């Protein structure tokens, strides 16, 4: 083979190799771009971590929640709470509710981001429904948890030091790869978690209830097995003052679901609609023994 033919052959090899590389890059461009965003926080992509190891900082941020479904996706998808206010480094547990309005099961996949986009690298998710394909049965409704914190380094970065509001947004699309999808029913059937209950208590109950002292409501340490309306020095409503029962898991569940229906004359305005969240809060309250309360009172 003369030099001219060798040159042509080398050129063809180079062209085919280049085409192969380009084809591979195109095939994996979405995956590579997603990995790039997850590492750098580009486009407001949040970060995935195993646990909250950050120390609490003094600065607080308000996190707002926004949800959408793609056109043609027959789901209702909404945040249970519109916003939470947390300190940097503070772990937060929030919930999103999804309902499949179709007469057949549908597999969805959630995309997500935060705004402003520059805060994405500091928004750390510990648990989320947005990393997998998710199946929801016909007519089924479920509340899905998102466990996250905002890295305290947000405040020391000159580019993000001015950020005090962050919006976490989700959009559910119908999945193109439904095979092997996880079932969202797992969130409804999960066993009670005292750890999750502690977070929920801090976010939803602690404004009105202390553990060892009264606020708007009575202290709740040792509530299991305690007679309703019996904490000394607290001005109970007429309904609870006259109540003749002790607090059990079943009674606490009814109380959290609808206080006025369970105890006519009760004044507590707050209620927890989701049974799984009630179970978690009750699991946490169960860990707060009266013995510990008595020991603390003597200290």
Work out the pLDDT band at 43, boundaries 50, 70, 90.
very low
The SS3 of residue 130 is coil
Pairing between strand 141-150 and 92-100? antiparallel
pLDDT of res. 20: 53
CA gap 193, 75 in Å, rounded: 28
> For the whole prediction, is pTM greater than 0.85?
no
137-154 mean pLDDT: 93
Q: In this predicted model, which residue has the larger pLDDT, 112 or 176? A: 112
Which residue in 222, 190, 239, 228 sits closest to 288, CA to CA? 222
233-253 mean pLDDT: 90
Work out the pLDDT band at 2, boundaries 50, 70, 90.
low
Structure confidence by residue, pLDDT tens digits, 71-109: 999 999 999 889 999 999 999 999 999 999 999 999 999
**Residues ≥6 apart with Cβ < 8 Å to 99:** 75, 76, 77, 136, 139, 140, 141, 142
Q: Is the model's pLDDT at 124 over the cut of 80?
A: yes
Q: Is the model's pLDDT at 167 over the cut of 90?
A: yes
- Average pLDDT score over the chain: 83
Q: Is the model's pLDDT at 50 over the cut of 80?
A: no
Phi/psi region, residue 43 (left: phi>0; alpha: psi -120 to 50; beta: rest), is left
Mean pLDDT lowest among 64-73, 146-155, 261-270:
261-270
pLDDT of res. 155: 95
């Amino acid at each position: 083979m003369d030099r001219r033919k060798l040159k042509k052959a080398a050129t063809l090899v180079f062209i085919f190799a280049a085409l192969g590389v380009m084809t591979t890059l195109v095939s994996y461009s979405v995956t590579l771009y997603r990995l790039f965003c997850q590492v750098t926080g580009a486009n407001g992509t949040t970060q995935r971590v195993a646990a909250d190891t950050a120390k609490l900082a003094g600065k607080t941020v308000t996190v707002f929640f926004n949800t959408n479904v793609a056109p043609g996706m027959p789901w209702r998808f909404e945040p249970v709470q519109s916003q939470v206010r947390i300190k940097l480094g503070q772990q937060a547990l929030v919930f999103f509710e999804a309902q499949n309005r179709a007469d057949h099961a549908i597999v969805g996949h959630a995309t997500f981001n935060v705004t402003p986009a520059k805060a994405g690298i500091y928004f750390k998710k510990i648990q989320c429904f947005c990393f997998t394909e998710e199946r929801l049965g016909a007519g089924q409704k479920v509340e899905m948890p998102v466990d996250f914190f905002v890295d305290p380094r947000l405040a020391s970065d000159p580019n993000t030091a001015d950020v005090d509001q962050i919006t976490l947004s989700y959009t559910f699309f119908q999945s193109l790869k439904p095979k092997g999808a996880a079932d969202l029913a797992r969130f409804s059937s999960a066993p009670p978690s005292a750890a999750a209950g502690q977070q929920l208590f801090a976010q939803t109950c602690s404004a009105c209830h202390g553990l060892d002292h009264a606020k708007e409501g009575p202290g709740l340490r040792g509530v299991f097995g305690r007679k309703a309306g019996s904490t000394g020095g607290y001005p109970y409503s007429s309904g609870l003052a006259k109540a003749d029962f002790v607090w059990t898991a079943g009674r606490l569940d009814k109380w959290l679901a609808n206080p006025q229906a369970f105890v006519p004359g009760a004044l507590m305005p707050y209620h927890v609609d989701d049974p799984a969240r009630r179970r978690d809060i009750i699991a946490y309250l169960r860990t707060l023994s009266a013995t510990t309360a008595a020991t603390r009172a003597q200290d």
